[in-house]
Structure 1
Amino acid sequence: MVQLLGEFDCKLDAKGRLMVPSSLKKQLPDVEKEGLVINRGFEKHLVIYPKKVWQGIVEELSKLNPYEQKTREFIRYFTRGATELTLDAAGRVNLPNSLMESVGISINTELVLACQFDKIEVWSKSAYEAIFDNEPANFASLAEEVMGNKNRGADGN
């Protein structure tokens, strides 16, 4: 399983290319051979997946019931705009204009690449910082709510 770590400040060049930071590239040893996939995230950001991770997601999606309308809608929205990325010789990827526009990223936008487990979120720096402006007053309470019952049995003990 891929375990990506780090947060990286970046900027697109004039042609909309993103230089993959060398320390991130080291965490993706097969990226030149296997490639990446970029897609919309659930909030106002993009998500880059290693190709193997994306293939696993697609496999899970293919197991869903296509006769249910919500399933079809979810798959349609989730996969809309998904695009393969390949690194050029200089270690850059070209981000699709349609995806960038959909989340408010333009050529001159400062970006943050935020690694989360097996994916890389791509945020405009201002949108990323705005998330943390709304940080919960008591992060410990949020942690307890999300993770507190993780090790309890079905009977609540």
Structure 2
Amino acid sequence: MLLGEYEHTLDTKGRLAMPAKLREALGNKFIITKGLDGCLFVYDLEQWQQLEAKLAALPMSRKTARDFTRFLFGGACEGECDKQGRVLLPANLRRHANLTKDAVIVGVGNRAEIWDAQKWQEYNEGNADDVNELAEQLADLGI
């Protein structure tokens, strides 16, 4: 399980240090792709394969299925940390998440998310009031 919030800085080559706890959970190789809300999603290979199977089962006759599959797979790459624990984030993924310098890596259960630090702060400030409402909605679902 991926948990926690970690602040790191991208170097000039677009490399980001992955926290040791998350590296252990993700394994030697993992998948990085465009995420929702303007961040990047990071999956271990097992979680990625499960997601891949679910998407493969969707009817390709539905435009939403085709669009989301293109979005997720078209932006995906295999990540691997170097000896210093850094992963190279390709330019297209850095652009998607507006990553230039300061980043926040967040463990959210079955995946990690990589956010531009300013955008993460804005997201949290903008959703502070929504958390109580969201909790009420989830309570209705038995969570």
Give the TM-score, by structure 2 length.
0.90
Change (3 A) 1:150 1:100: same
Identity %, equivalent residues: 28
Q: Aligned runs of 1:4-153 on 2, under 5 Å?
A: 4-28=2-26, 31-32=27-28, 35-106=29-100, 109-137=101-129, 139-145=131-137, 147-151=138-142
Give the Å deviation of 1:75. Answer: 1.2
- Deviation digits for residues 104-154 of structure 1, max 9, x if unmatched? 112xx1000011011110000000000111134364333112x122239xx
Structure 2 portions without partners, runs of 5+:
none
- Report the more deviating stretch, 19-28 or 64-73: 19-28
Q: Distance in 1 between matches of 2:67 and 2:20?
A: 37
Which has the higher Rg, Structure 1 or Structure 2? 1
Q: Distance in 2 between matches of 1:142 and 1:70?
A: 25
8 A contact 1:10–1:112 mirrored in 2:
yes
For the residue of structure 2 that corresponds to 1:27, the secondary structure is helix
Structure 1 portions without partners, runs of 5+:
153-157
Q: Distance in 1 between matches of 2:128 and 2:69?
A: 31
8 A contact 1:136–1:142 mirrored in 2:
no
- Report the more deviating stretch, 123-132 or 14-23: 14-23
Change (3 A) 1:91 1:136: closer
Runs of 4+ in 1 over 6 A off after TM superposition: none
Give the Å deviation of 1:92. Answer: 1.4
Alpha-carbon RMSD = 1.8
Q: Distance in 2 between matches of 1:123 and 1:83?
A: 17
